[in-house]
Structure 1
Amino acid sequence: MKAWKALGPEHVVLEQYEPEKVGKNQVKIKMLSSSISDSDVMTYSGKLGMKPFPIILGRQGVGMVSEVGENVSNFKRGDRVYIRPQVYCGQCSECKRGNEQFCKHAKVYGKTTDGIMRDFVVAQKNNLYKIPDYIDTQEASMLEMIALAKSAVDTLRCEVGDYVVISGASHLGLLIAQLAMYVRAIPIVLDIDEYRLQIAEKVGVYYVLNIAAEDVAKRIFSITSGKLADAVVYTQPEIVSFNRLFDYISSGGKVVFTALENTNPNLSVNIGSVLDKNITLYTISSRGLSIPAAVNILAGGKLNVRPFITRCNFSEVDKYLEKCKKDPNRFMFVSVVF
């Protein structure tokens, strides 16, 4: 059995490892698809440091059940399953109250515990979700981001005709934009990279603005006929400074912060602008997301994700980690095929 292990910054190897035993409440999975996540690239670059090296990479993925423990009745051999990134202990006071998202001992694959970038994975049964046959395996590897995008749009409670500014044309930003369009809101996607803005247009976003090439505040004023945006989703601090967002949003607007766990931005908030415009701030983490809801969205054909997927063979993970490090804008979502 083989796994991609990071031994130090920019030092990854494909190592042999001993087969794991399957516990009573566990499932053994033959991996079909994983992805090179932002946290994988940051670990590879030596910028994350959540767990000391060495660590097996891989945050999330899809595989086929090959063996089940004696207490497992909801999965069987041959089932295709999604492996959730977060591993909850099930024993702490929060878990016992049903608040897994606040687990005191939670771990994350590839970040604080060995990940799933390996040909076989043994996981707890409560960390798995069945995938319908008609959902593409590579697209299913994106379920965490789809769930995160849904949570952002739900939190904003977008209405028909609402203007939603999205900071960053990453794969998450474009998922949020598409779900906003599904509820008939109007996304305005900001970025500094023309390639990513072209991908945004390919998935149907009409208003794509290059911050480096135009006066974004004036354009948003014009697009919205002077009322400014109803909401902002802030996902990438490097695209636009936080306090600049107040030039884009109307009084009574809403701002969602999400996908910032790996960047650890030191945000300085101009509280005067928040109070003056009566803006409501929300935060969304990757914990407690509804994966079943994301499965339904993907199954319903509501998203066009193909334009931002890059395919990578399992044997090429080291090469693509380096590519993602050097040019992250060109590799928005790298799907690893086993």
Structure 2
Amino acid sequence: MEELETPRLEHGEVLIMNKAFGICGSDIEIYQGHRVVRTPLVMGHEATGVVVDVEKSVSSLSIGDHVVIEPNFFCGKCPHCRVGRTNLCSNKIVLGVNYDGAFAEYVKVPEMYAWKLPTNLDFVKATLIEPLSVVVHALKDLSVMPGDNVLIIGGGPIGALAAQLLREISANVVIQEALPTRRAILEKMGLQVVGTSDEEEKKINDLFNGKGADLAIDAAGNRTTVIQALKMVKPGGTLVIVGLTETKAELPVHQVVRREINIRGSIIYTGEFAKAIELMRKKADLFSKVITHIFSLSHFKEALEIAVERKCLKAVIKNY
């Protein structure tokens, strides 16, 4: 860690003292050098805190407000933004990727990207609002019904949050996760979990009564998981790909066509932040089970290493 100057506010910005922030898979990619970003850079984007200063033009926030940061800033002018698909903004600024982020004592953001927190929601639990927004967007317009079979490949935070949300509508959810440590955590959360061996894969068929998955979600993001998810989807079913990967996967196009599989990619969110805040307000105790490790700021490096080694589900730094 090193000393940084407190950010200076520009027009329409607020200064936030970070109180808690989560460590995301994208942070790990940057930390390990697998994702090219500008340097120097302060990482981190899943953050909550207290407003400690506001630029004079700011009208919706005041000093002392508790907020969660929406970390993707869109331009509002490009073709994607003009039709409401702000997640595809051509000029997007991303906190902790191409703009100094939240792994620091202070961060500044435009006023519209600091959302007031419900009074019953603490800073640590509220760090899940950003990843929960990703899940809400991924499930948008899918019309999942009670009893539908849903396979989630990848039992990380996104997969676990998706499973919890889908179980709230009584879907029959199965998570496939390769790591035994994560499987144990997910099982303690009361979720149906299987491994990746051939024998374990047969369990999926049994849990779905031989009918296949109405919906499969690839939350792992590699060439094998996409193919596995596609294999398990029933004819007329849907595959949503949320996990990010730079690897190429050869899809059996004939299966997609003959079985009329709907395939959809999903990236961050477009207007789902407010819904995620409301979900956390109502179900904070449920969703916060995803947070398995909480560290003080002085133990940040230890938290990062545990996240890198995937010994946790979600690690959060608490700075209060």
Residues in 2 aligned to 1:158 and 1:307: alpha-carbon distance in whole angstroms? 22
Residues in 2 aligned to 1:308 and 1:232: alpha-carbon distance in whole angstroms? 24
Residues in 2 aligned to 1:308 and 1:200: alpha-carbon distance in whole angstroms? 11
Unaligned runs of 5+ in 1: 1-13
User: Hey, which bits of structure 1, 4+ residues long, moved more than 6 A?
Assistant: none
Alignment partner of 1:266 is 2:252: no
Aligned counterpart in structure 1 of residue 169 of structure 2, from 172, 183, 195: 183
- 1:155/1:268 Cα in 2 relative to 1: closer, same or farther (>3 Å)? farther
SS in 2 for 1:156: coil
Unaligned runs of 5+ in 2: none
Q: Aligned-pair distance for 1:225? A: 2.0
Q: Which residue of 1 is the match for residue 230 of structure 2?
A: 246
Amino acid at match of 2:174: I
Residues in 2 aligned to 1:126 and 1:19: alpha-carbon distance in whole angstroms? 20
Q: Which residue of 2 is the match for residue 337 of structure 1?
A: 318
Deviates more, 1:86-95 or 1:266-275: 86-95
Q: Aligned-pair distance for 1:178? A: 0.8
Residues in 2 aligned to 1:61 and 1:196: alpha-carbon distance in whole angstroms? 24
SS in 1 for 2:64: coil
1:187-266 paired onto structure 2 within 5 Å: 187-205=173-191, 207-212=192-197, 214-216=199-201, 218-238=202-222, 240-260=224-244, 263-266=245-248
- 1:239/1:204 Cα in 2 relative to 1: closer, same or farther (>3 Å)? farther
Residues in 2 aligned to 1:201 and 1:113: alpha-carbon distance in whole angstroms? 37
What is the TM-score when the length of structure 2 is the normalising length?
Answer: 0.92
- 1:241/1:259 Cα in 2 relative to 1: closer, same or farther (>3 Å)? closer
8 Å CA contact 2:29, 2:35 repeated in 1 = yes
SS in 1 for 2:181: helix
8 Å CA contact 2:137, 2:269 repeated in 1 = no
Q: Could you give the per-residue CA deviations for residues 106-165 of structure 1, whole angstroms, max 9, x where no partner exists?
A: 121112222111111111001111101101211111112111212223343210100000
- 1:274/1:127 Cα in 2 relative to 1: closer, same or farther (>3 Å)? same
Alignment partner of 1:276 is 2:276: no
Residues in 2 aligned to 1:258 and 1:289: alpha-carbon distance in whole angstroms? 17
Residues in 2 aligned to 1:238 and 1:95: alpha-carbon distance in whole angstroms? 29
Q: Aligned-pair distance for 1:240? A: 4.4
Q: Aligned-pair distance for 1:188? A: 0.8
8 Å CA contact 2:152, 2:159 repeated in 1 = yes
Q: Could you give the per-residue CA deviations for residues 85-120 of structure 1, whole angstroms, max 9, x where no partner exists?
A: 212234556546655333221121112222111111
Deviates more, 1:251-260 or 1:51-60: 51-60
Aligned counterpart in structure 1 of residue 154 of structure 2, from 165, 168, 172: 168
8 Å CA contact 2:163, 2:173 repeated in 1 = yes
How many residues are treated as equivalent by the alignment?
318
Residues in 2 aligned to 1:152 and 1:41: alpha-carbon distance in whole angstroms? 22
Q: Aligned-pair distance for 1:271? A: 0.5
Residues in 1 aligned to 2:227 and 2:87: alpha-carbon distance in whole angstroms? 29
Alignment partner of 1:79 is 2:68: no
- 1:60/1:195 Cα in 2 relative to 1: closer, same or farther (>3 Å)? same
What is the TM-score when the length of structure 1 is the normalising length?
Answer: 0.88
Residues in 2 aligned to 1:317 and 1:234: alpha-carbon distance in whole angstroms? 30
Q: Could you give the per-residue CA deviations for residues 233-256 of structure 1, whole angstroms, max 9, x where no partner exists?
A: 001135943223333121111000
Aligned counterpart in structure 1 of residue 5 of structure 2, from 15, 18, 31: 18
Q: Aligned-pair distance for 1:202? A: 2.3
Q: Which residue of 2 is the match for residue 6 of structure 1?
A: none
CA root-mean-square deviation: 2.0
Q: Aligned-pair distance for 1:320? A: 2.4
Aligned counterpart in structure 2 of residue 296 of structure 1, from 268, 278, 281: 278
